[in-house]
Amino acid sequence: MRTRRYLRQWGRIAAICALGLALACEREKRRFNDASPSAPAYAAVTLDTLQPGVPSPELTVKSPSEGNAYDIAQGKQLFEQWNCSGCHSHGGGGMGPPLMDNEWIYGSSPENIVATIVEGRPNGMPSFRNRITANQLWQLAAYVRSMSGLEAKAPSPGRNDGMQYKVDEQRTPFRTPRASASKTLPAKSERP
Amino acid sequence: MSAQPLPAERAVESDPNSPASLHDRLERVWRNGPGLWGWLTSVNHKSIALRSIITAFAFFGIAGVEAALMRVQLARPENSFIGPDLYNQLFTTHGSAMMFLFAVPVVQSVALYFVPIMIGTRNVAFPRLNAFGYWTYLIGGVLLFSGLFTNTGPDQGWFSYVPLAGPGFSPGKRVDIWAQMITFTEIAAIVAAIEVIVTVFKQRAPGMSLNRVPPFVWAMVVMSFMVLVAMPYVATASAMLAMDRLIATQFFNYAEGGDALLWQHLFWFFGHPEVYIIFIPGLGMVSAIVATFSRRPVFGYTAVVLSLVAIGFLSFGLWVHHMFATPLTQTGQSFFTAASAMIAIPTGVTIFCWIATIWSGRPRFDTPMLYVVGFIALFTIGGLSGLLLASVPVDLQITDTDFLPGHIHYVLLGGMVFPLFGALHYWFPKVTGRMMSERLGKVSFWLLFIGVNVTFFPQLLLGIAGMPRRVYTYLADSGWGGLNLTSSIGAGLIALGMLLLVINVARSLAAGAAAGADPWGGETLEWAISSPAPDYNFAYIPIVHGRSALWADTGDLDAVAGLREDRREILQTTMLDAVPDSRHEHPDPTIVPLLTALAVGVGLIWGIFDPIGFVVGGVLTFIALAAWGWPEKPSLTRARSWRCQSDRRR
Amino acid sequence: MTVVGEIAAETGRQAERPLRPVVNVSDLPSVVYGSRVVTWWGTTGFMAAEAATLSACVASYYYVLRNYESFPPLRTPLPDLLVPTISLIVLILSLVPCYLFARAAKRLDRPATLRWMWVAVVVMLIATALRLMEFSALNVRWDANAYASVAWAVVFAHFTLLLADTLETLLFAVIMQTREPTRYYPGVAEDAFYSYFMVAVWIPCYVTVYLVPRWV
Amino acid sequence: MTWAGSIFDTAGTPAERIARLAWFLIIVSAVTYLLVLVATGIAIRRARARRTRGDLADTRPETAKRLTRNVAIATIATTLILLVYVTATALTGKAIAWPLNARQPLTIEVTGYQWWWQFRYRDSVPSNWLTTSNELHIPVGRPVRVILLSNDVIHSFWIPELHGKQDLIPGHRNTTWIQADRPGVWKAHCAEFCGHQHAKMQFDVVAESPAQFDQWYRRQLASALPPTDSAAKRGHDVFVQRTCIMCHSINGTEAGSNVGPELTHIASRPSIAAGSLPNTRVNLGRWILNPQLIKPGVRMPPNALSPADMNALLDYLETLK
């Protein structure tokens, strides 16, 4: 009897440890090569309408980059190198909308963000269809989410090596996403 | 512990000077508590040092397996056994673990085990602090390896050059784990250094003036002083790195006025002395072994001791020779070349003195002595290849190539691991009461000696052939395949030698010949007491009349009586001449050091994920320290009741 | 040196070496002060390590200073001088009660020890509060630039020493108030000794952080 | 000894002088080492003999005196050797310094990226500045001043045949110099650990006659020719409409990103992927399809191209001579 209770107790502890370990492994995994180059995952995420304000329908594709420190960091590098800041100004907004706030015109889920990058949006956001691989899209989306604290703190990037324009993502407080004021559709609210 | 004297005890009290009753009384006061709780609360320097040595060897084993995996990967060009991500974690944790979790802790633990016995005292100066140091070290080591096993192993190299180790290029928590591991081990190292220094300065046996302190103890003291000065630098640097990563300080961000070279200066100001911190104790162990097995005291005591001190000082003037390929002025570089050359002189003197000791002695070549000869043969290669690295122009060609791992392994394996294995065979009887097998010992020595040369000499050549270090693979047309394969085969020999060594230890533990108090006819005080040493070390504190405590005469040793036998009390002597000065009460076993270490652990580990963790950990640590400082009431009452008894006895 | 005895022996001995008591030390004191106690040496050891830590921070400060053409960097205000100077004066003043309670402790004078300890605790608590205010007197956040980071590092590193010393004095005061174990008197004296060190090392730090930017 | 690729396979003055010093030090070290071993050996033999005779250890004062003298002699010898060592080091250090009287030096700015190299040849005429990647051409006999910069982490610039290494440190402007005294083709490695693909961060060094160098330089300065045949045209379209354009540039086309190596004359380079693969059509195809199989962790992603697109792209890239 007692042995069994002990076993159950230890089993529980072991399960919690295993979960912790699994989370740590997932957070630190360096995925170099698991996106099959021949099947662009974002095909499933394309919108059936280009009307602004309509977030993507419920999708089954799950972003592999959520909560992964390496992917978010890669997204951050791509964001800077591809000059997203040219319009979004390190997330503060300029010609394009700010990305650090909690207003989301086209939805805040990774799939929404990927769709926005792939399709482009009216008033300036160009379409990057065919130019960015699926993996890189997820990485970018994860980074964009981390800019307003939608990603967990532990995998979010620290400060960059360079001029400091904004608070680094891991110290950015979580901000409950909401649809932009002018839009009516509610966005899924989610916590990392 | 009961205050009422047991009937049996009353019986022996009729003869208070009978050794048996004295032994029982002291044993009662000094032994650890029973069971697991007793294990966790122990403040005995031997218990703690021994578990620390075992822990260090466990980390040594894991890091050794990592090395073997790397050698398998490099055995042939373009091998796909291990990818770059895992390889980088392996070499980083291998280097970090060997430096911070094996080399420094193991030599300090050997010091904490044998220094108190060699200088004739009953415990280290601060027993609870000593226990705290061990627990911190254990937490740090477990942290690093749990990182490795959860794919969070540091992957930036053991000297963590920024910006690669900084927030921009090392995402995740890998480097943070490394930085906190450094903090843990530095706390432990500094604590152990203070223990050794204070114990040696204040608790030497009467008569053991500073010029009679065994060279082994001198080496440990010099090492401890170096730890005290060098380790805070790496602790500061790693704290800065962690803060850069976690709270966005700008220490190493060039765009905001920081500097990547600041890291290198801070790190190598620690990192170069680190190598000497590791092998000066090796020199100490060699001194002890050479004297015993040559059947004469070390030749040139004063020269050896002064050389050790000189090496300690000079080692702080060399750090820039790790940075010759960075923008530095020519004059600065020449200065560091000259300083590097200077340190070769005292190192040479020590080696010459040992050769002279053997020369005029009549040595027995048991396994420990073989390791000493192996030390001379290997370490000299390490030292001489170091001269190539300290010469600026040649360094520019061979630094950061495979020459460097070759060199450092000759220095550290030759200068520290071989003396340590010698010490293992030498002191194993003292610690366990059993002898190690000579035959297995000799076979494993030769395997290791040949293996080290077959592994690392090709690496020296590979460096000259242009192979960079820290590469997870190399191209087939580079022409490095043959030498790499040789090196990997050598690694196999080392592994075999290590396996035999482990078998030898296991077999000797179970069925080794009984050792007796003094199997080698040793020179220093540890051989005066029974093996394994009793918990209180010495029934009476011996009085020392010369440098060779046990060789000065053959009869009984003069000793000091009058220390309390009813509570933990030790004798303090004056710093220079070791004249008895005062008695000092020592604490009983307590759980507080473990709790304090856990509080520190909570702070440092939680702090990786959320700065609030540092605050919580700080508060917990303060609470633990308050408990630490609080007077122990039970101990006092017990002491009082014991005092009554002893008064009655008188 | 002539060596006799065991050296000639080929093999070791089984038995332990007999010890023959010739001196009795039972009349040696067990409460001593200053460098006769191990705690004095231990405290000194920690001081050495802490001084090394602070020196690493200060060295980093001057290293970073070389990287700037104007110091403090452009658009970064100078640190205030008022609060830090008051804080420095309070710190130095705190040494007076420290000296007095250490002297009283050496005489085993309980009332005087306690009185001056509590005065010291109050003064040090004030100093700690002032030190907290010093962080805002730096006029720059730690993450603004490298200058800010090193200045914060120096002040913070010393803040930990100040905090530790304050809490230690408080703890000792409480213990002395409630228990009065005789063997704590040397520790109390040690505590004052540590305070001297803590204040002494702050002076170069103060000069570095608050005066040097005004001079260069 | 000329051991291909080793520090003794010298082709320039600094490397030559360093090799000479290295030989000297190696010989001195070897002799010293032998002396130490011989001394140890003799010590062991003598002492063994004493044991066989059954004598005690020799602790007589006169022996101690003799030993003291011998140790002192050995120490003085060590000191003298070290004096020679320091002097030789200083002299060599002087000999390998940048020659102040160098005439018409060439200046090349090297920038390290994770995990490739960019070379920018400076010229008094700004329009003659040339940027290449992973391939360094230098004229024989002309001193080259090298300015070392980094875009991300610390790398190290090292051509063993020409000179020792110098680090590329972000925020610092380090310099070194090289001069090839004979023509040759060598492989150079990054020598400071810089992340996942440190092992395969290499570049090709080509030392050639000044005339050949000038010819190469002029050809590299030219923009890429517009594609002529239909396959190449389609390849060009693939390049600018698909993933390639996000990171690479080809002068003369709309591709102008500087995230990855520039590819204006990719077909003329001896190797691809920072010196990791010979530049053949098959290798190029493998590389573009999935670089992660060849250099795991490299920043170039796998590219989903249909076989037809891939062939066209390869056709196009092969025209970029």
The answer to whether B84 and B472 are in contact (CB under 8 A) is yes
Q: Which of residues 101-130 of A touch B (CB under 8 A)?
A: none
Q: Does residue C27 belong to the interface with chain A, where contact is any CB pair within 8 Å?
A: no
Strand order across the beta sheet in which D184-189 lies: D135-139, D202-208, D184-189
Distance CA A31, CA B84 (A): 12
Q: Which of residues 182-211 of D touch B (CB under 8 A)?
A: 187, 189-200
Q: What integer is the mean pLDDT of B599-618?
A: 93
Closest CB from B171, B246, B610 relative to A69: B171
- CATH assignment of the domain containing A169: 1.10.760.10
Distance CA C4, CA B550 (A): 10
Q: Give the pairing of strands D106-113 and D116-122.
A: antiparallel
Q: Is B78 helix (H, G, I), strand (E, B) or coil?
A: coil
Any domain includes A91: yes
Q: Does residue C2 belong to the interface with chain B, where contact is any CB pair within 8 Å?
A: no
Question: Which tens digit of pLDDT belongs to each residue from C115-125?
Answer: 999 999 999 99
Of the candidates B521, B118, B550, which has an alpha carbon nearest to the alpha carbon of residue B293?
B521
Any domain includes A5: no
Flag whether pLDDT at A35 surpasses 70: no
CATH code 2.60.40.420 for D230-318:
yes
Q: Which residues of D touch A139 (CB under 8 A)?
A: none
Output the pLDDT for position A60: 56
Q: Which residues of D touch A35 (CB under 8 A)?
A: 301-302
Q: Give the DSSP letter string of D198-246.
A: GGG-EEEEEEE-HHHHHHHHHHHHSPPPPP-SHHHHHHHHHHHHSGGGG
Flag whether pLDDT at B581 surpasses 60: yes
Query: Mutation test of the interface with chain A: which of C75, C141, C143, C145, choosing the one with the most A Cβ atoms within 10 A?
Result: C143
Q: Does residue D56 belong to the interface with chain C, where contact is any CB pair within 8 Å?
A: yes
Any domain includes A66: yes
Q: Which residues of B touch A29 (CB under 8 A)?
A: 151
Residue C26's Cβ-side half-sphere holds a number of Cα atoms within 13 Å equal to: 13
Chain-centre distance of CA B278, in angstroms?
7
CB-based contact A21 B247, cutoff 8 Å: no
B5/chain D closest Cα distance in angstroms: 52
Q: Does residue D80 belong to the interface with chain A, where contact is any CB pair within 8 Å?
A: no
Report H helices in B465-533. Answer: 481-511
Distance CA A145, CA A135 (A): 16
Q: Give the pairing of strands A178-179 and A103-104.
A: parallel
> Right CATH number for D106-221 from 2.60.40.420, 1.20.120.1200, 1.10.3720.10, 1.10.8.620?
2.60.40.420
Q: What integer is the mean pLDDT of B593-601?
A: 96
Question: Which tens digit of pLDDT belongs to each residue from B612-634?
Answer: 999 999 999 999 999 998 886 54
In which band, very low, low, confident or very high, does the pLDDT at D3 lie, cut at 50, 70 and 90? confident
In which band, very low, low, confident or very high, does the pLDDT at C181 lie, cut at 50, 70 and 90? confident
Any domain includes A6: no
Question: Which tens digit of pLDDT belongs to each residue from B202-233?
Answer: 999 999 999 999 999 999 999 999 999 999 99
Residues of A with CB under 8 A from a CB of C: 159, 164
The answer to whether A141 and A117 are in contact (CB under 8 A) is yes
For A131, the domain range is 34-49+58-182
Q: Bridge partners of A152? A: none
Q: Which residues contact B376 (CB under 8 A, 6 or more apart)?
A: B351, B354, B355, D36, D40
Q: Is D86 helix (H, G, I), strand (E, B) or coil?
A: helix
How many domains, chain A? 1
Q: Which residues contact C77 (CB under 8 A, 6 or more apart)?
A: C139, C140
Flag whether pLDDT at C3 surpasses 50: no
Calculate the alpha carbon distances from B296 to A60, B355, B426 in Å.
Answer: 81, 12, 16
Q: Does residue C74 belong to the interface with chain B, where contact is any CB pair within 8 Å?
A: no
Question: Which tens digit of pLDDT belongs to each residue from B356-383?
Answer: 999 999 888 999 999 999 999 999 999 9
Q: Which of residues 523-552 of B touch C (CB under 8 A)?
A: 523, 527-530, 538-540, 542-543, 546-548, 550-552
D248/chain A closest Cα distance in angstroms: 11
**ipTM of the prediction:** 0.91
Flag whether pLDDT at B643 surpasses 80: no
The answer to whether B617 and C63 are in contact (CB under 8 A) is no
Distance CA C182, CA B577 (A): 28
Report H helices in B295-329. Answer: 301-314
Question: Which tens digit of pLDDT belongs to each residue from B418-449?
Answer: 999 999 999 999 999 999 999 999 999 999 99
In which band, very low, low, confident or very high, does the pLDDT at D287 lie, cut at 50, 70 and 90? very high
Flag whether pLDDT at B645 surpasses 60: no
Flag whether pLDDT at A53 surpasses 70: no
Q: Which residues of B touch C1 (CB under 8 A)?
A: 297, 546-547
In which band, very low, low, confident or very high, does the pLDDT at D2 lie, cut at 50, 70 and 90? low
Calculate the alpha carbon distances from B344 to B352, C36, D30, D40 in Å.
Answer: 12, 38, 15, 18
In which band, very low, low, confident or very high, does the pLDDT at A63 lie, cut at 50, 70 and 90? confident
Distance CA C119, CA C68 (A): 44
C31/chain D closest Cα distance in angstroms: 45
Q: Does residue A25 belong to the interface with chain D, where contact is any CB pair within 8 Å?
A: no
The angle subtended at Cα D220 by Cα D216 and Cα D226, nearest 5°, is: 130
Other CB atoms within 10 A of residue A2 CB: 6
Q: Which residues of B touch D146 (CB under 8 A)?
A: none
